[in-house]
Structure 1
Amino acid sequence: MLLTGVVIPGIVALALALFFWPARKPGRKPGRLPHWMGGVVLAVTFLTGWILTRGWPDWPVRESAAWLPWLAVGGAVLGWLVAHQRLPGPTVAMLRMLVSVVTIWATTQSLQTHTWQKAAWLWIIGLALVLFAAWSIWESVLAKRQGVLPPLLLTGFFSCLAIMALLGRTATVSQTTGILCAGLGAFFVVSLVRRDLDLSQSTLFVAMPLLAGLVVNAHFYAYMDVLQTMLLMACCLAVLLAVRFTPEEPQFAGLLLALLITVLPALGGIAWDLLNSNVQTSSSEEEDPYAEYF
């Protein structure tokens, strides 16, 4: 599963990214970069991994996770529109809010019917606002920085989600998140040779709806608890601190520090889960001192 879920999608993403963002020879002026291609490359990478691991996307959709490939396709189209047409800021913000609402609505339909019921729209709006806030934070990071830092931080963030999902006993979500990590990791590799790599808004129009779908599946349909989910989303606030204290052209130590600051809340959640699981395992393995009498 590692080959089909991570290695092959990563190779596809790397090949496409190197094609669209080739290394620039020393002394040459920077050419115009296809900013809208970030979302397309990430969506193609995700679809490649999805088809290899789970088959062709279902239609009509019958479960929450089955929305993920369609979210990637829709996000790529909207990302192309936003980047290619140069839409004004307020229009883009309204579009992000609309996508946030649609994403939460689509991925929580069974919850709306069986759990939330009359309070469904309160949940949808509340979760959509959380997604919108996280999306806005990451967009501000991508607007301020280009090159190595944004893909590194995004890869670290989604890697923490993959680990948390695995600890939450949902290997499917963890594996699916790994596909996304492979694509973002390829962007990071390309940024090492193309330091002016700019992911732009189009990448987030794919990554953020997928983030919402993956977190919804890991938390509401599996066993990623509230504390872990909150700590994961706290990384979106930590990234602001990381960017603030990172120089414009960071060296290795600066990149490592920025990554550590960004994922520190999630690492705390992972450590907490591992500690609790070890305690529960130890208590379950204790022998009953009275067992020999029965």
Structure 2
Amino acid sequence: MLILKQLILGLLLPAVVGGGIFIFAKSLAWKKESEQKKARLSGWLVAVALSAGYTVGYTGLEGLPPFPPREGVHWLCYLSIIGLISGAFWHSSRWGRLIVQIALSIVIPRLLLNSAFKYTWGQFEGIIWWMCLAVAVFIFWHIVQESFTILPAGGSSPFVYFGLSGGTALVLAVSGSLRLAQHAGILVAIFAASWVITFVRQRSDNNKWQVFPLGASPVVALLLLGIWMNGYFYEEVPAASAILLAIALFLAPVGRIEKIQRLGARRSAIVQICVIALPVVIAIGIAVARSGLFGESSSY
């Protein structure tokens, strides 16, 4: 009964809620005449779909998050809300967006890793970690934002993020963190729903459209980063696996290489997705080897 409850609350319900809002977002956005208004409305509503879907899944698994959060995982729900609020103003000002990115990149590592700053690291070591993580958060957030335009229109974006979150869930599961794996599973369900919806609508409309507007990038980036940081610093996720998951999206620009583009739209998209998937697959393999499922564990 417990497993059935987790499947319903952690997978099915987030997919239904997120998918329903996603359908509404795209249907409403395409009815608008103004391209600027369309981008803003679609971006915010897609962010709502992602944030609401994750919040529903989080509440189903964890209950209402405490305030102030007592653990790093408790911040995940708040990160989805912060991402939603940020997405609402994402098209208002370029400088405002940059300031928000810098501020959150600095604040989020300190909030998520509060216990590590207090009890594990010394003052100097903590400052070094803080600076490095702030830079990493900012860069990854930018890469997520760029991936929405670099990845081919249509189902490629949700499929890539479905694979990335699925790989994250597998790495966490074999590393012994089933709790965090369930949170990654929420993202798997939401991205799977958005991919299926995009695939069906794409076939019916015979037209490819951009799935994730830039306004949805804060929710996606903050949730993935929150899960990864919790997994590495508080659980037993191998460092190599965490790094490989984080750098997978850095390979998205491979689709812009001239020789790849000459293969044609479909083949170049397949190559691009396969290249992004490669570090995710390696990350899973390292986590499996480290777990000792098929023999003695190795350290990475």
TM-score, L = length of structure 1: 0.85
Distance 1:247 1:69 in 2: 43
Which residue of structure 2 aligns with residue 292 of structure 1? Answer: none
Which residue of structure 1 aligns with residue 205 of structure 2? Answer: none
Which residue of structure 2 aligns with residue 151 of structure 1? Answer: 158
The verdict on how the C-alpha distance between 1:239 and 1:205 changes in structure 2, with shifts beyond 3 A counting, is same
1:50 aligns with 2:58: yes
Q: Is the 8 A contact 2:163 2:277 kept in 1?
A: yes
Which residue of structure 2 aligns with residue 285 of structure 1? Answer: none
Distance 1:250 1:62 in 2: 48
Q: Is the 8 A contact 1:39 1:206 kept in 2?
A: yes
Question: What's the Cα RMSD here?
Answer: 2.6
1:202 aligns with 2:215: yes
1:218 is displaced (CA, Å) by: 0.7
SS at match of 1:262: helix
SS at match of 2:27: coil
1:75 is displaced (CA, Å) by: 0.9
1:246 is displaced (CA, Å) by: 6.0
Aligned with 1:60 (options 68, 85, 102):
68
The verdict on how the C-alpha distance between 1:23 and 1:95 changes in structure 2, with shifts beyond 3 A counting, is closer
1:279 aligns with 2:285: no
* Equivalent residue letter for 2:288: L
The verdict on how the C-alpha distance between 1:273 and 1:71 changes in structure 2, with shifts beyond 3 A counting, is closer
The verdict on how the C-alpha distance between 1:186 and 1:120 changes in structure 2, with shifts beyond 3 A counting, is same
1:123 is displaced (CA, Å) by: 0.8
Q: Is the 8 A contact 1:156 1:259 kept in 2?
A: no
1:111 aligns with 2:90: no
Alignment of 1:1-294 (within 5 A): 1-22=6-27, 32=38, 34-83=42-91, 85=92, 87-88=93-94, 90-118=95-123, 119-145=125-151, 146-192=153-199, 193-194=201-202, 195-242=208-255, 244=257, 245=260, 250-251=265-266, 254-276=268-290, 277=292, 278-280=294-296
Q: Quote the sequence identity (%).
A: 19
* Equivalent residue letter for 2:21: L
The verdict on how the C-alpha distance between 1:70 and 1:171 changes in structure 2, with shifts beyond 3 A counting, is same
1:52 is displaced (CA, Å) by: 1.1
Task: Please identify, of 136-145 and 62-71, the stretch whose mean Cα deviation from structure 2 is larger.
Answer: 136-145
Distance 2:29 2:243 in 1: 41
Distance 1:248 1:105 in 2: 45
Q: Is the 8 A contact 2:22 2:49 kept in 1?
A: yes
The verdict on how the C-alpha distance between 1:175 and 1:243 changes in structure 2, with shifts beyond 3 A counting, is farther
The verdict on how the C-alpha distance between 1:62 and 1:138 changes in structure 2, with shifts beyond 3 A counting, is same
Distance 2:67 2:155 in 1: 38
SS at match of 1:62: coil
Q: Is the 8 A contact 1:162 1:177 kept in 2?
A: yes
* Equivalent residue letter for 2:209: D
Instruction: Please identify the structure whose Cα radius of gyration is greater.
Output: 1
Q: Deviations over 1:164-186 (max 9, x none)?
A: 11111101111001111222222
- In structure 2, runs of 5+ residues without a counterpart are 1-5, 203-207
* Equivalent residue letter for 2:81: V
1:117 is displaced (CA, Å) by: 2.7
Q: Deviations over 1:107-156 (max 9, x none)?
A: 00000001113022221120121121112122112134533222221221
1:203 is displaced (CA, Å) by: 1.4
TM-score, L = length of structure 2: 0.83
Q: Deviations over 1:232-278 (max 9, x none)?
A: 12212222225654689843x55443322112112112123324521
Distance 2:137 2:210 in 1: 25
Task: Please identify, of 30-39 and 137-146, the stretch whose mean Cα deviation from structure 2 is larger.
Answer: 30-39
Distance 1:129 1:92 in 2: 16
Aligned length: 275
SS at match of 1:223: coil
Q: Is the 8 A contact 1:21 1:190 kept in 2?
A: no
Distance 2:296 2:271 in 1: 33
SS at match of 1:61: coil
